[in-house]
Chain A
């Protein structure tokens, strides 16, 4: 990056923490011991995680390393607009509180391991379940690749200009302990990762503003930079940014817990109550994320100049912190990539095994074979993500991840209707899903892979997040189709557990 060679002090601290979590990753196989040849043990930690473990796990999973890199980068580049991450990660919790405890109860009762299992059970169609599973797989793959981007950025900032080899080593280690320990590995590592991130962020938001003469000065400096750039963006939103800001926040909040990794985190909880408590307690991470976002302004105030916006946070830390703490904070970010990457690959493996392999390839799998397929899939998924980054451009991953957000929103109607007493035929849901996928992809292409589409209505342009437009198309499609096909099965019994 800056060609000054490798920072060995920072690198040593970095390697120390990396080795520490590697040991933890393998030891985790014995934690809350269970038979790892069963899929719900390997892939959901035996549903044994209480409120505290779930808090660390979902916190470490939902607020990813890529977030730590990308949100400040966006704020650095476009100012207030980048803060949509804050309303997004606030509004997601009323949604979690309303839907997820009920979803957990149904899944626990029927030993469902994935969202698609739930759909199959509720709507009686492995084809709709397949659509849900493929959507979730498609949304997850680029997300895993982006975790690698987060890791790649900090490895490069340590001075390894050819950062591929360390990245490959780190990822192989990750793949091995995920294979052997399953979800217990990221759950245990999440404790270390989250505590490290809290330390780094608290240090950053106290030390850096002191050096930059306080928060008022930081905001003033950022304001000055944006005005000098011509004032298209600023530290408050421009009139044309209001609707994109609000719709991005809402759409992202609706999508947030539909992803396989967040869903896996929720389903691994030991009770519906611990999910409810987490809906109250997880917002602590949102405060953290808001403070992380401010690092973008601090970088502007400190006069940090970068070739790529993703370098903002590492460059700011290199400028401000002593070497050993640079190593600590970079380790926090890299470990912060491992946790979600592991959970994403486990979530993807569960989906592939339960909703693709078992129903369509080998219906007579034994439980042990099921766990074996999932373990192997988690390896393949991670290698795929690695190939993504090594052989394709990161921009491709970023574009696909954007589409992934649009896609994953299309399973929301199935989750909500599956939890309600209202009946709906799987053909209606599948039609709505297909319409949503097509509309979402088309609009994203028309918008040149930007998340916002300018809708022309009544002579005015309404700039709206594409995910919400696709969801609207989905709902219209599902409703229209419901007029023709009815669910004629005997009434779906709302189980007592579903309501508890």
Chain B
């Protein structure tokens, strides 16, 4: 539910909100990086980096971003 505004003041319940479905998003890096045939090639290159390399580098900020999305739900 991306529409839920983060600014909504939360009532101070002792139990933090459950990460729920969002936590499944943390499995995406595993799918994206462990299924190696999906990215084991050279083209398209980017700034001289073959696809194999820049694809893996791209997952670094993507993974941070996914963790951030889940973090906002559990905070």
Contact = CB atoms under 8 A, between A and B. Distances in A.
B63 A94 contact: yes
A89 to B, nearest CB: 9
Given A94-B63, A500-B16, A250 B71 contact: no
A87 B71 contact: no
Contact of B68 (A87, A98, A280, A287): A280
Given A90-B33, A98-B26, A236-B42, A496 B64 contact: no
A226 interface: no
A235 B33 contact: no
B60 A246 contact: no
B64 A280 contact: yes
Interface in A160-211: none
A500 B35 CA distance: 33
Contacts of A277: 71
A216 B48 contact: yes
B52 A236 contact: yes
A250 B61 contact: no
Contacts of B15: 496, 499
Contacts of A237: 36, 40, 52
A383 B12 CA distance: 52
Contacts of B67: 93-94, 97, 276, 279-280
Interface in A240-279: 242, 245-246, 249-250, 273, 276-277, 279
By size class, the interface of chain B is 35 or more
Contacts of B30: 91, 94, 250
A91 B33 contact: yes
Nearest to A247: B34
Given A80-B52, A94-B30, A215-B48, A283 B40 contact: no
Interface residues of A, number: 38
Interface in B37-65: 37, 40-42, 45, 47-50, 52-53, 56-57, 59-61, 63-64
A94 B29 contact: yes
A453 interface: no
Interface string A68-98: 0000000000001001001100110110011
B2 interface: no
A216 B48 CA distance: 4
Nearest to A279: B67
Contact of B42 (A235, A245, A280, A496): A235
B14 interface: yes
A454 interface: no
Interface in A217-238: 217-219, 235-237
Residue among A87, A214, A277 facing the most chain B CB atoms (10 A cut-off): A87
Interface in A76-130: 80, 83, 86-87, 90-91, 93-94, 97-98
Contacts of A294: 53
Contacts of B50: 219, 235-236
Contacts of A249: 33-34
Contacts of A250: 30, 34
B52 A218 contact: no
Contact of B63 (A98, A218, A283, A290): A283
B26 A97 contact: yes
A286 interface: yes
A223 to B, nearest CB: 9
Nearest to B15: A499
A52 B60 CA distance: 19
Interface string B12-34: 00111000000100110110011
Contacts of B47: 215
B50 to A, nearest CB: 6
A107 to B, nearest CB: 19
A276 B71 contact: yes
A94 B56 contact: no
A282 B48 CA distance: 26
A87 B63 CA distance: 11
B56 A83 contact: yes
Contact of B34 (A87, A98, A214): A87
Given A91-B33, A242-B36, A242-B37, A86 B57 contact: yes
Given A219-B48, A236-B50, A290 B56 contact: yes
Nearest to A95: B26
Given A91-B29, A283-B64, A496-B15, 19 more contacts: A80-B52, A86-B57, A87-B33, A90-B60, A93-B64, A214-B48, A215-B47, A216-B45, A216-B48, A217-B48, A236-B41, A236-B42, A236-B50, A237-B36, A242-B36, A246-B34, A280-B68, A280-B71, A283-B63
20 contacts: A83-B56, A87-B33, A90-B59, A90-B63, A91-B30, A93-B64, A94-B27, A94-B29, A94-B30, A97-B67, A215-B47, A216-B45, A235-B52, A237-B40, A276-B74, A279-B67, A279-B71, A280-B64, A294-B53, A500-B16
Interface of A: 80, 83, 86-87, 90-91, 93-94, 97-98, 214-219, 235-237, 242, 245-246, 249-250, 273, 276-277, 279-281, 283, 286-287, 290, 294, 496, 499-500
Closest 9 A-B residue pairs measured CB to CB? A215-B48, A216-B48, A87-B33, A94-B26, A242-B36, A246-B34, A86-B56, A283-B60, A280-B67
